[in-house]
Chain A
Amino acid sequence: MAPLPYVVARKRRETRDVWTLELEPVDEAIEQIRPGQFTMLYRFGVGEAPISSSGDPELGFRLVHTMREAGQVTRGLCAAKPGDLVGVRGPFGNAWPVDTARGKDVVFVAGGIGLPPLRGAVYDVLAHRNGFGRVVLLYGGRSPGELVFRSDVERWRSRLDVDVEVTVDTAGHDWRGNVGVVTKLIPRAPFDPANAVAFVVGPEIMMRFAAAALIERGLPQESLWISMERTMRCGVGLCGHCQLGPTLICRDGPVYRWDEMRPWLEVAAL
């Protein structure tokens, strides 16, 4: 499965080490990507990495990917300039089951660089706003300077039909918002747990604590979805690098219902 060439159309710095790339096909495009899915992005001469889509599904064949400079490949991708070529394989994995939330309250919980994989689903819900109950976004970051998509978050926050709460782990005196872990926002968030669906993305430990807080609030386990991350190589379930228990995350995930994934998160060293 050869990568298709895409050109970097736009590049935006989100934080000190997080960048968003907008990619357009040079010729042939991959299938339309859905929120929650990912592609394998290939920086020619360096290597390939799985990166979630962070784009608005309405953008069509333009791909939007947000990534942190974490390793050789992502550093290479983040260094790409407008006009540079990258390779794209995909889309891979499953999408957020946004339709299961129709008629219900929707709670998005994002931690750190967990907001980008949720961003497309937020756009999707807001594009069909009348089909949902209350829409809540709870977003936690390390510090004010490390919050991504600030303009999106500010725009969503200004809407009268979306409840947005942002918190950071640490802040100076000039920050006038919440300080503390994102899970602390869950008990007072305005949603009906008996009639809500939650989508959670962040570091695994954060997702475990967020899930515990949501379930304690009364959300049924079957209404809670998370997005998993493991080292991926092939993207199509052949190499086994992303195996977690009985599942291959690139093929069967990355989006899982909480009660299906929870037992495996409790196994050390998996």
Chain B
Amino acid sequence: MRTLDAVITDSPVFEGLTQEQLELIGGCASNVGFEAGERLFREGDRADAFFLVRHGLVSLEAYVPNRGPITVETIGPGEIVGWSWLVPPYMWHFTGRAVDDVRAVQFDGACLRRKCDDDPVLGYELLTRFALVLVDRLQATRLQLMDVYGDNVG
């Protein structure tokens, strides 16, 4: 079984960080598990965490009146769930739910924010990496919005 440190070190999100920085990040991390259907976090709640998915799928849902919960995206192994911990007002914009049994590393966002305040180099590195996550999500969302499958004729 791989250790928590190994999982963090091998994650592309943290690639290139120094051993010291990885240890600082690891100090705010813990292993977590969620059963299928279980909620990781709820829209509108304070966002003081993010997750590195190790196994399973996490859905991001929004509740639409008269339609019920709509899944806007799923996040799978190796990917990061949550960036709201990084920017004020530190509030979840969607509800996160385990589609199937999920294993993940949970990072304490408040703990990491404090460490970033104390160590701006670490803060810059993390911000750069989360900016890439955000850009990827933005590009994917743009493609989703184009509804490209609507008029493609085979």
User: Which among A51, A52, A180 has the highest number of chain B CB atoms within 10 Å?
Assistant: A180
Q: Does B147 contact A (CB under 8 A)?
A: yes
Contacts of A60-78 to chain B: CB distance below 8 A: 66-68, 70-71, 74
Which A residues touch B139, using CB under 8 A? 209
Tell me the bound Cα distance from A171 to B61 in angstroms: 10
Tell me the bound Cα distance from A146 to B148 in angstroms: 13
B143–A74 touching, CB < 8 Å: no
Counting residue pairs across A and B whose Cβ atoms lie within 8 Å, the total is 100
Which A residues touch B67, using CB under 8 A? 172
Quick one: which of B74, B146, B149 contacts A179, CB cutoff 8 A? B74
Residue of A nearest to B69 (CB): A173
Contact with B along A106-147 (1 / 0, CB 8 A): 000001111011000000000000000000000011100010
Contacts of A165-203 to chain B: CB distance below 8 A: 167, 169-173, 175-181, 183-184, 187-188, 202-203
A203–B140 touching, CB < 8 Å: no
Residue of B nearest to A65 (CB): B154
Which B residues touch A187, using CB under 8 A? 78
Q: Does A252 contact B (CB under 8 A)?
A: no
Q: Does B123 contact A (CB under 8 A)?
A: no
Contacts of A181-230 to chain B: CB distance below 8 A: 181, 183-184, 187-188, 202-203, 205-206, 209, 229
B144–A176 touching, CB < 8 Å: no
Q: Does B100 contact A (CB under 8 A)?
A: yes
Taking residues whose C-beta sits less than 8 angstroms from the other chain, chain B's interface range is: 20 to 34
A113–B154 touching, CB < 8 Å: yes
Tell me the bound Cα distance from A182 to B119 in angstroms: 38
Nearest-Cβ distance from residue A108 to partner chain B, whole angstroms: 15
In the complex with contacts A68-B153, A116-B154, A176-B100, A111-B148 CB distance below 8 A: yes
In the complex with contacts A176-B100, A206-B148, A209-B143, A171-B71 CB distance below 8 A: yes
Which B residues touch A112, using CB under 8 A? 148-149, 152
In the complex with contacts A173-B71, A176-B100, A205-B143, A229-B148 CB distance below 8 A: no
B153–A113 touching, CB < 8 Å: yes
Nearest-Cβ distance from residue B10 to partner chain A, whole angstroms: 13
Residue of B nearest to A178 (CB): B74
A68–B68 touching, CB < 8 Å: no
Q: Does B150 contact A (CB under 8 A)?
A: yes
B77–A188 touching, CB < 8 Å: yes
A181–B143 touching, CB < 8 Å: yes
Tell me the bound Cα distance from A71 to B152 in angstroms: 12
Tell me the bound Cα distance from A127 to B99 in angstroms: 34
Which B residues touch A74, using CB under 8 A? 153
Nearest-Cβ distance from residue A253 to partner chain B, whole angstroms: 15
Which A residues touch B59, using CB under 8 A? 179
In the complex with contacts A188-B76, A188-B77, A188-B78, A181-B149 CB distance below 8 A: no
Which A residues touch B140, using CB under 8 A? 180-181, 183-184
A203–B152 touching, CB < 8 Å: yes
Tell me the bound Cα distance from A66 to B68 in angstroms: 34
23 contacts between A and B (CB under 8 A): A71-B153, A111-B152, A112-B148, A112-B149, A113-B149, A114-B152, A142-B150, A167-B74, A169-B144, A169-B149, A171-B70, A172-B67, A173-B61, A173-B68, A173-B71, A179-B73, A180-B140, A180-B144, A181-B143, A183-B143, A187-B78, A188-B77, A206-B143
Partner-B contacts on A (CB < 8 A):
18, 51-52, 54, 66-68, 70-71, 74, 111-114, 116-117, 140-142, 146, 167, 169-173, 175-181, 183-184, 187-188, 202-203, 205-206, 209, 229
* A66-B154, A117-B154 given; 9 more Cβ-contact pairs under 8 Å: A113-B152, A142-B150, A172-B67, A173-B68, A178-B76, A179-B59, A179-B74, A202-B152, A209-B143
